[in-house]
């Protein structure tokens, strides 16, 4: 039997701006959920509470009672929820829902709790419905989705049927009330971790304190532009909740390697337009929308619950998006920039296949011997991995190749300098998968400056062969004067012999003879 004096007492205390306790707020919510409160009492309670300002105890009591009347979902493993309170009235696309798809594609189960749009053009339920998702599944259906696909959606109208008692009053009031902020706190799947966007600046620390009381891992944020997401247009205020404690900080998108965006870059549309945007983002389209999705997905992956399948990667989204998420996770702190991994150069077909690489990146065959053993006449540089003084002679350690002056990989290279030929690369080159090109054959990946110079020399040589008779040498023209003199001498008539002289006399050379 409801207490007839409950509502007059509660409304009188609220009119005097007195705070309610957790039990008082819970009892008021219990009567609303049970249908025992009249529309006038519900409307007066919501407006009086909003005018006074909600407290942590009041929000906690309302949320706990609302969960008591919700239809529970038994998740097969620890899950995470990504949601926002809505109400920012900025008109962005549904960032939290697209981020939830990215997080699920990264192998973290997501129990998404949401509703249709209240103040925007498209809510999470509207977007998923436009993408072809059945949004009104019962608890067993959501549990199967979590087990098979790694993501499940719980429609608020289905899992909170008792909220129908307050629905008509809320639609008639058309102003934000405490119910706008209870949705993220009343997930029927009881997630182990949450990321929550809050549009109201005053409610942000209060909701963070409520989640801290539950001792779950959470991250709550609000952009200075009013967005209930981690924004890329300005700095965001972030509350980290861990082990029952709070830590407030500020996040600049540039500190994690993302460029600042304009508010117009994040605009959304109706469900059909939002679904098209989501498909383009998940297909790898770059731009400000992709950046803000990766930023929010990275925040969710940072607070993800630990579970057996955390290491598995599913391909529910395209590879470019997954790589971007990894970059966002790597750069989650302001002191570590989120940069994409260096592109790994594919090995050419003519490169020799080897096993583990040594300090110089040269592959090793099945016998364990280096592919290109070096002579021991050259002392190696300092290598901390060898544990041997480089100034002392000795055999190189296993896996080490002693450097030596490189020879010509191609006889036609001549004096051209190939910087990477035969050189032992440094550690950074090994990490970039750029080993020294000792074992190159032909012109497959010779340096760009070598092949043009080589072809130019051959072209000039071919032209000289066509124009100049005789030996095909680069200095063939300098031999022509000598050839002409020799031809002239051979064509002259033999001269008369001079009188015989004594053998001791030295014969004189004919005049004009140069050789």
Instruction: Report pLDDT digits (tens) over 433-476.
Output: 554 444 444 444 455 556 676 677 777 766 665 554 444 444 44
In the chain, % of residues over pLDDT 70: 60
- Flag whether 363 is in a domain: no
pTM score above 0.85: no
Q: In this predicted structure, what is the pLDDT of residue 497?
A: 46
Better-predicted residue by pLDDT, 173 or 25: 25
Contacts of 359 by beta carbon, 8 Å cutoff, 6+ apart = 383, 385, 386, 399, 400, 401, 424
Q: Is the pLDDT of residue 8 over 80?
A: yes
Q: Which helix (H) or strand (E) holds 66?
A: helix 56-68
Give pLDDT tens digits for 318-330. 343 444 444 433 3
State the CATH number of the domain containing residue 42: 1.20.970.10
User: How many angstroms separate the first and last alpha carbons of the chain?
Assistant: 135
Same domain, 228 and 98: yes
For residues 169 and 165, what is the distance between their CA atoms, to the nearest angstrom? 8
- Flag whether 500 is in a domain: no
Give the least confident one: 49-63, 334-348, 368-382: 334-348
Kindly state the tokens that stand for 464: 């000289």
Q: In this predicted structure, what is the pLDDT of residue 86?
A: 83
Contacts of 285 by beta carbon, 8 Å cutoff, 6+ apart = none
For residues 289 and 258, what is the distance between their CA atoms, to the nearest angstrom? 11
Q: In this predicted structure, what is the pLDDT of residue 398?
A: 56
Same domain, 57 and 86: no
- Flag whether 477 is in a domain: no
Considering the chain, what is the average pLDDT of its residues?
74
Same domain, 188 and 293: yes
Q: In this predicted structure, what is the pLDDT of residue 403?
A: 55
195-221 mean pLDDT: 95
- Flag whether 350 is in a domain: no
Going by pLDDT thresholds of 50, 70 and 90, the confidence category of residue 36 is very high
Q: In this predicted structure, what is the pLDDT of residue 370?
A: 42
Q: In this predicted structure, what is the pLDDT of residue 180?
A: 87
**CA-CA-CA-CA dihedral for 230, 236, 239, 240, to nearest 10:** 60
Give pLDDT tens digits for 228-280. 999 999 999 999 999 999 999 999 999 988 999 999 999 988 999 999 999 99
71-97 mean pLDDT: 90
Q: Which domain holds residue 43?
A: 6-62
Q: Which of 106, 127, 131 is nearest to 117 (CA)?
A: 127
Q: Is the pLDDT of residue 353 over 50?
A: no
Q: In this predicted structure, what is the pLDDT of residue 365?
A: 42
Q: Which of 185, 255, 197 is nearest to 223 (CA)?
A: 197
Same domain, 191 and 238: yes
The total number of structural domains that make up the chain = 2
Same domain, 147 and 295: yes
Beta-sheet pairing, 217-223 with 110-114: unpaired
- Flag whether 428 is in a domain: no
Same domain, 53 and 178: no
- Flag whether 105 is in a domain: yes
Sheet holding 193-197, edge to edge: 151-155, 110-114, 80-84, 193-197, 217-223, 236-242, 245-251
State the CATH number of the domain containing residue 242: 3.40.1030.10
- Flag whether 509 is in a domain: no
């Amino acid at each position: 039997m409801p207490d007839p004096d409950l509502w007059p007492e509660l409304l009188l205390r609220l009119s005097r701006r007195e705070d309610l306790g957790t039990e008082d707020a819970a009892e008021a919510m219990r009567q609303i959920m049970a249908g025992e409160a009249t529309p006038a009492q519900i409307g007066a309670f919501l407006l009086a509470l909003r005018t006074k300002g909600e407290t942590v105890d009041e929000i906690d009591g309302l949320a706990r009672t609302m969960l008591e009347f919700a239809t529970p979902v038994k998740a097969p493993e620890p899950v995470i929820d990504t949601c926002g309170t809505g109400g920012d009235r900025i008109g962005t696309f549904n960032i939290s829902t697209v981020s939830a798809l990215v997080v699920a594609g990264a192998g973290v189960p997501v129990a998404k709790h949401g509703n249709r749009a209240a103040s925007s053009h498209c809510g999470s339920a509207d977007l998923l419905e436009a993408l072809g998702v059945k949004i009104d599944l019962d608890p067993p259906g959501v549990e199967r989705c979590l087990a098979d696909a790694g993501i499940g959606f719980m429609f608020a109208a289905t899992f909170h049927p008792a909220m129908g008692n307050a629905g008509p009053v809320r639609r008639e009031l058309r102003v934000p009330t405490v119910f706008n902020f209870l949705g993220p706190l009343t997930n029927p799947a009881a997630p182990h971790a949450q990321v929550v966007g809050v549009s109201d600046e005053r409610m942000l620390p209060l909701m963070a304190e409520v989640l801290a009381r539950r001792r779950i891992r959470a991250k709550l944020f609000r952009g200075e532009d009013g967005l209930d997401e981690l924004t890329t247009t300005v700095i965001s205020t972030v509350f980290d909740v861990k082990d029952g404690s709070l830590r407030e900080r500020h996040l600049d998108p540039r500190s994690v390697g993302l460029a600042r965006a304009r508010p117009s870059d994040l605009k959304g549309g109706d469900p059909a337009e939002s679904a098209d945007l989501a498909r383009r983002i998940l297909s790898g389209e770059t731009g400000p929308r992709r950046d803000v999705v990766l930023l929010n997905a990275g925040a969710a992956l940072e607070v993800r619950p630990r579970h057996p399948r955390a290491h598995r990667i599913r391909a529910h989204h395209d590879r470019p998006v997954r790589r971007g998420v990894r970059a966002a996770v790597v750069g989650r702190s302001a002191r570590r920039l989120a940069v994409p991994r260096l592109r790994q150069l594919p090995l050419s077909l003519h490169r020799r296949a080897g096993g583990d690489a040594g300090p110089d990146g040269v592959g090793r065959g099945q016998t364990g011997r280096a592919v290109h053993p070096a002579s021991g006449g050259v002392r190696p540089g300092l290598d901390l991995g060898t544990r041997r003084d480089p100034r002392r002679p000795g055999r190189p350690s296993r896996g080490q190749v002693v450097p030596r002056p490189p020879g010509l990989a191609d006889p036609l290279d001549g004096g051209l300098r190939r910087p990477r030929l035969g050189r032992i690369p440094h550690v950074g080159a090994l990490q970039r998968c750029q080993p020294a090109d000792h074992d190159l054959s032909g012109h497959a990946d010779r340096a760009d400056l070598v092949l043009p110079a080589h072809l130019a020399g051959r072209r000039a040589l071919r032209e000289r062969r066509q124009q100049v008779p005789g030996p095909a040498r680069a200095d063939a023209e300098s031999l022509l004067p000598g050839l002409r003199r020799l031809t002239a001498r051979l064509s002259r008539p033999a001269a008369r012999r001079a009188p015989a002289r004594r053998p001791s006399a030295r014969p004189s050379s004919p005049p004009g003879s140069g050789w």
